[in-house]
A and B are shown apart, each in its own frame.
Chain A
């Protein structure tokens, strides 16, 4: 079951690659939140109940509901145009993201280790590099935040892979999640949105030598 969920997660990465509208990104991120809820439930069922409830609430309430709602709110409030405006075409993005997944797969096959389940490793690495790829190739500032959220999801999967024995790390990962998302999105909604009319990264290129 975990495998199916994780493969679905990997597919959602490719889906983000070909998405054209910002709302598609948001629904993909919400979908990833649901998957993480499932994986966390299966993996962490043995840890103590309070901790488990905390993790599950974070995935389902925070990742799946609150963040997508907040992203929607930011887009509406700042009147951001709905297109993602990538620097590269979607076809190239899909090819590159597939390449990333394939690359992580090949990389993890070189590991001879019985302790870590490779599928966690593959999916987490793919999410990490896909997130970085999205940050690099999208023009809008808000898509940078979305790329960062994808990275966070990857980190969460990785922490699940080791977390059943050390729940503290999962909790710290969640802390990172909440902390950074609130900080980034909060600044975005309150400050950047008010100051910049066009939400384009080229607006943020004045600080240089």
Chain B
């Protein structure tokens, strides 16, 4: 199936790139979605079975693949809405859809590959397709965003490669040659600690560019700002997950060795700094899209802290990854409607949104509650568990600092959101306002309900999957 999927997606991307008819490209996108879901279901049935030598869906990859397949549907729907409202030439549309198909294909393949180098190749492919999406509008600012994204991601991906080379040195010393995750897990206790430390530093730093953590988070912020909003929704959820996947897979290997406490310290520092950076920028940022992007940085920081704290934190981190990937796209999809109403990204120009679009304003209000993890948001559960794991692992001071920073974030986020919802904008002319149909907000409501449902009442199958995914970590 994975073979059919990869070849089929590449062919569909080619067709989408060359086709100029709207109906035809809709058919191709539909075919791709069928293919995507086919892969998801097939991989679920064939879990832990090696396909095509380098692919083996395990529980963690499967969870992320499922999240991606769910997000892909509203992403394509909103891309369609985007193109009906913003006139672009058929060629630009074709480029956009082709890049999005390739992006989703590369992400799926990276999730379910069982070989370090293969994951690496597909992560590199996401850089290429994402930059095509960022450059979609072809203005000077998008060019700047694209250039920065490509440059930072290229350096990061090189760092990951160097990390893999150091890991190779370590496994060659013991006479192994296999870079699949399964065999690396088995070999891990024998490997030289020095090389593993070097490898961890390089691989972690490299993947932070995708995961949106300190130190390489910058490129991702510009990317989410400049890309069209459906693409930005993918960037802030599933593309960040692929970075987290890279970190998680290597962390599993490290957790079998004696340097686990050291690696936890590295993760904690990165997580704390990410939340701190997010706080600082949330206080002063006035660009709505960048505000949402910094909120993603905060959540990735929390996830990293949960992973580092261990215990119940492992479960909480994975649950948080899932819930965040559903909640953040809802915000970005809603941003598309805000931009169509006000024609601006600045908080200063947006206001009194309830008056112009009730359904959309409710989405904004609810997703504010969901994203800042207030009950009944599912993220409340996962964040609470992360805090508990921090407490139980004896990091009380860290927990206090994080709670303070989160309070500031909730305040500054709320200040901007409530300004957008209730306070009248200055100098806004609402005479020729386009009425936005409430049906466009259905997908956002569905995603938000999903977050609440999965958090409050996680189905047994999801709990099982998460527990299987963290089975390799120490208990």
Contact B165 A158 (CB under 8 A): yes
Query: How many pairs, one residue from A and one from B, have CB atoms within 8 Å of each other in the complex?
Result: 93
Contact B150 A187 (CB under 8 A): yes
User: For the complex, is B180 an interface residue (Cβ under 8 Å from A)?
Assistant: no
CA distance A151 to B158 in the complex (A): 8
Contact pattern, B 219-251, Cβ under 8 Å of A = 1, otherwise 0 = 000100110000000000000000000000000
User: For the complex, is B194 an interface residue (Cβ under 8 Å from A)?
Assistant: yes
Query: Which segment, of A18-26, A61-69, A97-105, A175-183, faces chain B?
Result: A175-183
Query: Which segment, of B116-124, B252-260, B419-427, faces chain A?
Result: B116-124
The B contact surface, by secondary structure, is helix
Contact pattern, A 157-189, Cβ under 8 Å of B = 1, otherwise 0 = 011011001101100110110011001100100
Count of chain B residues with Cβ under 8 Å from any Cβ of A? 41
Contact A172 B222 (CB under 8 A): no
Contact B172 A209 (CB under 8 A): no
Contact B168 A144 (CB under 8 A): no
User: For the complex, is B359 an interface residue (Cβ under 8 Å from A)?
Assistant: no
B121-157 CB contacts (< 8 Å) to partner A: 121, 124, 128, 131, 135, 140-141, 143-148, 150-151, 154-155, 157
Contact A209 B285 (CB under 8 A): yes
Task: Pick from B124, B128, B165 the residue with the most CB of A within 10 Å.
Answer: B165
CA distance A113 to B168 in the complex (A): 14
CA distance A180 to B391 in the complex (A): 44
Contact A204 B148 (CB under 8 A): yes
CA distance A23 to B285 in the complex (A): 42
Contact A179 B124 (CB under 8 A): yes
Contact B169 A116 (CB under 8 A): yes
Contact B143 A195 (CB under 8 A): yes
Contact A113 B173 (CB under 8 A): yes
CA distance A144 to B147 in the complex (A): 11
User: For the complex, is A111 an interface residue (Cβ under 8 Å from B)?
Assistant: yes
Chain A residues whose C-beta falls within 8 Å of the C-beta of B168 in the assembled complex: 162, 166, 169
The residue in chain A whose Cβ has the minimal distance to the Cβ of B226 is: A207
Smallest CB–CB gap between A164 and chain B, Å? 10
Contact B164 A176 (CB under 8 A): no
User: For the complex, is A148 an interface residue (Cβ under 8 Å from B)?
Assistant: yes
Chain A residues whose C-beta falls within 8 Å of the C-beta of B281 in the assembled complex: 209
A112-160 CB contacts (< 8 Å) to partner B: 113, 115-116, 128, 141, 144, 148, 151-152, 155, 158-159
The residue in chain B whose Cβ has the minimal distance to the Cβ of A179 is: B124
Q: Which of A115, A128, A148, A191 contacts B162 (CB 8 A)?
A: A128
Q: A166-B177, A204-B147 are in contact. Are A155 and B222 (CB under 8 A)?
A: no
Q: A111-B194, A176-B157 are in contact. Are A158 and B151 (CB under 8 A)?
A: no
User: For the complex, is B217 an interface residue (Cβ under 8 Å from A)?
Assistant: no
Q: A206-B144, A207-B145 are in contact. Are A183 and B154 (CB under 8 A)?
A: yes
Q: Which of B131, B172, B222 contacts A162 (CB 8 A)?
A: B172
Q: A155-B158, A176-B161 are in contact. Are A207 and B143 (CB under 8 A)?
A: no
Chain A residues whose C-beta falls within 8 Å of the C-beta of B412 in the assembled complex: none
A189-209 CB contacts (< 8 Å) to partner B: 191-192, 195, 204, 206-207, 209
Count of chain A residues with Cβ under 8 Å from any Cβ of B? 35
Smallest CB–CB gap between B171 and chain A, Å? 9
Chain A residues whose C-beta falls within 8 Å of the C-beta of B173 in the assembled complex: 113, 115
Q: A113-B192, A162-B165 are in contact. Are A195 and B140 (CB under 8 A)?
A: yes
Contact pattern, A 65-86, Cβ under 8 Å of B = 1, otherwise 0 = 0000000000000000000000
The residue in chain B whose Cβ has the minimal distance to the Cβ of A191 is: B143
CA distance A141 to B150 in the complex (A): 13
Smallest CB–CB gap between B238 and chain A, Å? 22
Smallest CB–CB gap between A141 and chain B, Å? 8
User: For the complex, is B284 an interface residue (Cβ under 8 Å from A)?
Assistant: yes
The residue in chain A whose Cβ has the minimal distance to the Cβ of B291 is: A209
The residue in chain A whose Cβ has the minimal distance to the Cβ of B283 is: A209
User: For the complex, is B210 an interface residue (Cβ under 8 Å from A)?
Assistant: no
Contact B290 A176 (CB under 8 A): no
Contact A169 B155 (CB under 8 A): no
Chain A residues whose C-beta falls within 8 Å of the C-beta of B157 in the assembled complex: 176, 180
User: For the complex, is B287 an interface residue (Cβ under 8 Å from A)?
Assistant: yes
Contact B151 A169 (CB under 8 A): no
Chain B residues whose C-beta falls within 8 Å of the C-beta of A209 in the assembled complex: 281, 284-287, 290
Contact A115 B150 (CB under 8 A): no
Smallest CB–CB gap between A200 and chain B, Å? 13
The 18 sampled A-B contact pairs (Cβ below 8 Å) are A115-B172, A148-B151, A162-B168, A162-B169, A165-B172, A166-B172, A169-B165, A172-B117, A180-B154, A180-B157, A184-B151, A187-B131, A192-B147, A206-B140, A206-B141, A207-B141, A209-B281, A209-B290
Q: A155-B165, A166-B172 are in contact. List 4 more A-B contacts (CB 8 A).
A: A183-B154, A184-B150, A207-B145, A207-B225
